Structure 1
Amino acid sequence: MNTLGDLVARDRRSSALALRVPALDRDYSYRDFCTTAWKAGNFLSFLGVRGGGRVAIEPDPLPEPLLTFFGAALHGATTTFDTTDIDVRALVVPWDREDDFADVPGTKRVVYGGPPSDPGVSHWEKDVWSENPAFPQTDVDPASPVLASGGDEYSHRTLLTAAARVVEDVGLTADDDVVVRDPLTDPGVVAAGVLAPLSVGATVVFPDPDRDESQGTVAVGSEILEGDVPEDRTLSPPNVV
C-alpha cells in the first residue's frame, strides 16, 4: 500500500467489520467504510478541497471525523485534528460547536451529529449521504503530507510504514479488534489505532467505557498501565511514529 487511499480501495470492500462504535450502536463493514469514505471525498471536492489543501477536523472518536480524514486523503489533502487551526479549506466540527467558529474567508464549515442553524453551514450526514458512492482514480504522491500535528507533517508513506511496523511487532491479523483509547490528535494513534488494523482487515473500535463490547484484543493508548484495560496487548502511540 502506497497511500491511505489504498486502504479504502474498491477491492477492499467486504462484509468484514472495519469500524465499531458501541456508544452509537453503529458498525461499518469494509464495504460501508470504503463507500462512505468515497462519498466524503466527493463532498470535500464540492467544498473545494483539492490536493495540497488542508482540512481541520474535531478529533472525536466517531465515524464522521475518521471518514472525513480518509475523504481528504483521497484528494492528497492534509488533515489536522486541531480545530484551532482555521487556515484551512474545510472545518468539520460537532453541531453543538457550530457557534464556536466565526466565518473565515475561504473556509467552509461542516457540522455532524445534528443539523446546522446557519444555512451557510453544511450538514455532514445529509450532504455526504447524497454524494456519489464512487471516487475517481486520483494520483497522490506517497511522499505528500496527509496529517499535520504539533507543527509537523506526516506523509502517507511515513504513516503507512509505521503502521506496517505495528502489524509486524504486535502480530495483528484480521481477527483482531484494536481499541483506540487515545485521541486522534496523536499521529501514533492514527498509525497504530487506525491504519494498522485497517491494513490487515482487522476492526477499529472507538470505545464506550460503559459497554462490554468496547473491549478488544489490542489497546492503543499512551498512559495504559498493566491491568488498566481488558486487552492483553497494548501499544504506546509515542513509540509508533
Structure 2
Amino acid sequence: MDTLADLVARERRSDDVALRVDARDREYSYRDFCTTAWKAGHALSHLGVHAGSAVALAPEPAPQPLLTLFGAACLGARVTFETTADARAVVVPAERVGDIEDRPSRKVVVYGDAPTDPSVAHWERTVWSENPVMPPGDHAADETVLVGRDWSFTHGEVLTAAEAVVDAAGLDSASTVALRAPLTDPRAVVAGVIAPLVAGGAVVVPTGEATTADVSVVANGADGDGADDGATYHVANVPL
C-alpha cells in the first residue's frame, strides 16, 4: 500500500466488517465502507476540494468524519481534525454548525439533521447521491495527508506507522479495535483507524462499558475507561 486510498481500493471490498458503531448498532462492511468513501470523495470534489486542498473534520469518532477522511485521501487532499483550521471544506455535526466561522472560500457540510441554511451542504443527502466509483487520480506516498497546527505526515509515514502498530498489537483480519483516544492526535488516527483497516480488521466506535473489542486504543495514561476490552494500546507507542 502506498496511500490511504489503497485502503478503500476496489479489491478490498468484501462482506467483512470494516466499521462497527455500537451506539447505533450499525456495521459497515468493507464493501459499504469503500463505496461510501468513494462517494464522499466525489461529494468533496463537487465542493471544490482537489489535490492539495485541506479538509477539516470534526474530531468525532463517527462514520461521517471517518469515511470523509478516506474520501479526501482519494482526492489527494490534506485532512485535519481541527475544525478551526483554514480549509476548503469543513465537516461537522449539524448541532455545531453555528460554531463554524463563515468564510467565503470554505464550504460547510453537516451530518445528522438536515441544515436550514441553503448554503450549508447535508452530508447524508450529498454523499448518498454520488456515483459509487472510486474517484480518478493517482497519488504518491510522499504526499501529505494528515496535518495539524504544528505537524504534518505523509501517506507513507502514516501507513508505515500503522503497519508497526499492526505488528506490535498482533492485529489481523479478525481483530476489532476500539477507538478511545482523541482524533486530534494523529497517533490515535493511526492506531485506532488506519491500523485495523491495514490488517483487514474492524474499527469500533465504542459506547463506554457496553463495548467489547480485542484492542482498545487509548490516550497516554488512560486505561480504556473501564470497558470490557481486551488489550490496551497507548498512542504513545505509535512510531510517528
Relative to the length of structure 2, the TM-score reads 0.96
Runs of 4+ in 1 over 4 A off after TM superposition: none
Maintained 8 Å contact 2:41/2:135 = no
Q: Please give the per-residue CA displacement for 1:200-241, whole angstroms capped at 9, x wherever unaligned.
A: 210100101152xx2100010023338944223211112202
CA distance in 2 between partners of 1:226 and 1:115 (Å): 34
| Matched residue, 2:47 | 47
CA distance in 1 between partners of 2:202 and 2:180 (Å): 14
Moved more, 34-43 or 165-174: 165-174
AA paired with 2:215? Answer: V
Q: What are the equivalent positions in structure 2 for 1:51-90 lying under 5 Å apart?
A: 51-85=51-85, 87-90=86-89
Q: Measured at CA, do residues 115 and 210 of structure 1 come closer, stay the same or move farther in structure 2, by a change above 3 Å?
A: farther
| Matched residue, 1:107 | 106
| Matched residue, 1:231 | 229
CA distance in 2 between partners of 1:228 and 1:200 (Å): 26
3-state secondary structure, aligned to 2:208: coil
Q: Please give the per-residue CA displacement for 1:81-131, whole angstroms capped at 9, x wherever unaligned.
A: 01121x110011110111222320210010001101100100000010000
CA distance in 1 between partners of 2:175 and 2:215 (Å): 7
CA distance in 1 between partners of 2:230 and 2:26 (Å): 25
Q: Please give the per-residue CA displacement for 1:140-170, whole angstroms capped at 9, x wherever unaligned.
A: 1211110112410111000100000011111
3-state secondary structure, aligned to 1:175: coil
Q: How many pairs align?
A: 238
| Matched residue, 1:184 | 183
Relative to the length of structure 1, the TM-score reads 0.95
Moved more, 25-34 or 135-144: 135-144
Matched, 1:137 2:136: yes
In structure 2, list runs of 5 or more residues that go unmatched: none
Maintained 8 Å contact 1:57/1:92 = yes
Alpha-carbon shift at residue 173 of structure 1 (Å):
0.8
CA distance in 2 between partners of 1:140 and 1:177 (Å): 29
Which of 191, 195, 217 lines up with 1:220 in the alignment?
A: 217
In structure 1, list runs of 5 or more residues that go unmatched: none
CA distance in 1 between partners of 2:225 and 2:192 (Å): 19
Maintained 8 Å contact 1:224/1:234 = no
Maintained 8 Å contact 2:47/2:107 = yes
AA paired with 1:230? Answer: D
Percent sequence identity is 51
Maintained 8 Å contact 1:39/1:131 = yes
CA distance in 2 between partners of 1:120 and 1:225 (Å): 43
RMSD over equivalenced CA pairs, Å: 1.4
Matched, 1:120 2:119: yes
AA paired with 2:235? Answer: P
Maintained 8 Å contact 1:78/1:148 = yes
3-state secondary structure, aligned to 1:140: coil
3-state secondary structure, aligned to 2:168: helix
